[in-house]
Amino acid sequence: MRTHGFSKRGEEKEDEGRKGKEEEKERRRREKKEEDSFDLRFLQMIKMRMEVRRKMDLVRMETGGKEEDGSSEDGD
Query: What is the C-alpha separation between 14 and 19, in angstroms, rounded?
Result: 9
pLDDT digit string, tens, across residues 20-53: 889 999 999 999 888 888 889 999 999 999 999 9
**What residues does each domain of the chain span?**
8-63
Residue with the larger pLDDT of the pair 39 and 13? 39
Closest Cα partner for 18 from 6, 31, 2, 30?
A: 6
Whole-angstrom Cα Rg for the chain: 29
Query: What is the C-alpha separation between 12 and 43, in angstroms, rounded?
Result: 46
